[in-house]
């Protein structure tokens, strides 16, 4: 029987939850990483290792690694720094593990790579030369909580191709391992002035279908959008959702037309509308949306879900998982039909990833 592993990054360290393929009963372990704030924690199916991008207020940023599902941990930041004296690395924000290497995104915006399992790091790209990039390091553009590179998305079949989100700027694609980049924001909406046509979009979360690499979805600051050409162009599919704002999203592992988002109030609160927790699902590529709330709290549930805090597994009937910024973790083992709370009192959850271990 397969095992199901959830890797959860929180404001106070990394936690693991393990279950079998029924995904009904969960055993929690942690906290790991000495309680450092973990921005993103991932599982590498090739090596079996867990990586956690963490930034301590006292001791700076490091990437933690456990080769044995949390039994032991090491950490390193060797090489995680900018040579340019004016450019400061305030945190490591996001991880991507593929093709035998680890990529980590940082603030100020930059992407570092490790080819030795996270022991040492070298700067791969700062996306220098992209429109407006000369002011990305301006402190006025780096408010507290800024993530810089907020997400990295690998291509499973092409090592040199991947996507990066620069927070508040947009999506960029490279096909030559970071040497050159192309903005991939055509068709997106922005309700604010933008000095450059191709950038200035606030992309919160980008996901790609596992069965059709040209099909992508994104939750944006202003709307949900779909691409049918690998991100070259986007069409808005917000109509039918209770809010255009949200962070988290997940794409069905076997059906390219099924996609989940967690709409939130767009103001400063950024919590579930009306205090009623719900995930919204489309089964037709965004033409229509259904509210999925069975098992989720429907009264006084003023919870938020951050951009990396939703994930899905790859079982035939996929499971979905999301964590709140106030430490509740919810799971569905039936493709989003019904939900249950599988952890109630974790620290604020930054990220949720899931792996199926055979």
Partner 1 sequence: MTLTPLFPELPRRIELEAPTVDAAIDELNARWPGVRDRLCEPGPAIRPHIHVYVDRERAALDTPLAPHSRVDVIAAISGG
Of 37 and 231, CB closest to partner 1: 37
Tokens of 112: 């570092």
- Among 24-32, 51-59, 108-116, 317-325, which window interacts with partner 1 (CB under 8 A)? 51-59
- Residue 59 interacts with partner 1 (CB under 8 A): yes or no: yes
- Among 52-60, 133-141, 274-282, 312-320, which window interacts with partner 1 (CB under 8 A)? 52-60
Beta partners for residue 217, in sequence order = 207, 226
Tokens of 66: 């456990």
- Residue 60 interacts with partner 1 (CB under 8 A): yes or no: yes
- Residue 176 interacts with partner 1 (CB under 8 A): yes or no: no
- Residue 144 interacts with partner 1 (CB under 8 A): yes or no: no
Exposed, middle or buried by CB within 10 Å (0-12, 13-18, 19+), for 36? buried
Q: Given candidates 2, 26, 28, 88, which one binds partner 1 under the rule CB under 8 A?
A: 88
CB of 82 to partner 1, least distance (A): 7
Work out whether strand 49-56 and strand 13-20 pair parallel, antiparallel, or are unpaired: unpaired
Q: Given candidates 25, 27, 85, 316, which one binds partner 1 under the rule CB under 8 A?
A: 85
Q: Given candidates 25, 27, 57, 191, which one binds partner 1 under the rule CB under 8 A?
A: 57
The number of beta carbons lying within 10 Å of the beta carbon of residue 314 is 13
- Residue 77 interacts with partner 1 (CB under 8 A): yes or no: yes
Of 6 and 123, CB closest to partner 1: 123
Beta partners for residue 153, in sequence order = 163
CB of 38 to partner 1, least distance (A): 15
Per DSSP, which regions of 115-269 are E strands? 122-125, 149-154, 162-166, 170-174, 182-183, 203-208, 216-220, 223-227, 235-236, 246-251, 259-263
Listed in sequence order, the residues at least 6 apart from 268 whose beta carbon sits closer than 8 Å to its beta carbon are none
Question: Can you tell me the distance from the alpha carbon of 249 to that of 131, in angstroms, rounded to the nearest whole number?
Answer: 27
Q: Which residues bind partner 1 (CB under 8 A)?
A: 34, 56-60, 62, 75-78, 80-82, 85, 88-89
């Amino acid at each position: 029987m397969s095992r199901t592993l959830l890797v959860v990054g929180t404001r106070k360290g990394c936690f693991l939850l393990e279950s079998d393929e029924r995904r009904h009963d969960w055993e929690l372990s942690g906290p790991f990483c000495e309680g450092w704030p973990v921005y993103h924690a991932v599982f590498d199916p090739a090596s079996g290792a867990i990586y956690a991008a963490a930034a301590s207020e006292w001791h700076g940023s490091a990437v933690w690694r456990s080769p044995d599902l949390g039994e032991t941990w090491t950490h390193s930041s060797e090489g995680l720094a900018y040579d340019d004296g004016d450019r400061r690395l305030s945190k490591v924000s996001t991880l991507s593990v593929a093709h035998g290497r680890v990529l980590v995104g940082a603030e100020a915006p930059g992407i570092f790579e490790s080819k030795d399992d996270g022991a040492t790091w070298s700067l791969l790209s700062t996306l220098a030369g992209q429109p407006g990039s000369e002011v990305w390091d301006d402190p006025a553009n780096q408010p507290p909580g800024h993530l810089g590179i907020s997400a990295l998305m690998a291509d499973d079949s092409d090592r040199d191709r991947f996507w990066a989100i620069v927070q508040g700027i947009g999506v960029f694609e490279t096909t030559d391992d970071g040497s050159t980049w192309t903005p991939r924001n055509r068709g997106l909406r922005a309700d604010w002035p933008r000095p450059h046509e191709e950038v200035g979009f606030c992309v919160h979360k980008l996901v790609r279908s596992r069965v059709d690499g040209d099909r992508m979805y994104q939750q944006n600051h202003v709307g949900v959008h779909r691409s049918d050409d690998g991100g070259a162009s986007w069409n808005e599919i917000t109509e039918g959702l209770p809010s255009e704002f949200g962070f988290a999203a997940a794409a069905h592992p076997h059906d390219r037309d099924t996609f989940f988002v967690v709409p939130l109030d767009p103001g400063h609160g950024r919590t579930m509308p009306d205090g009623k927790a719900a995930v919204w699902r489309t089964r037709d590529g965004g033409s229509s949306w259904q509210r999925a709330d069975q098992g989720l709290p429907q009264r006084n549930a003023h919870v938020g879900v951050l951009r990396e805090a939703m994930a899905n597994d790859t079982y035939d009937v996929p499971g979905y998982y999301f964590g709140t910024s106030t430490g509740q973790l919810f799971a569905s083992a039936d493709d989003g039909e019904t939900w249950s709370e599988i952890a109630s009192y974790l620290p604020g959850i930054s990220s949720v990833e899931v792996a199926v271990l055979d």
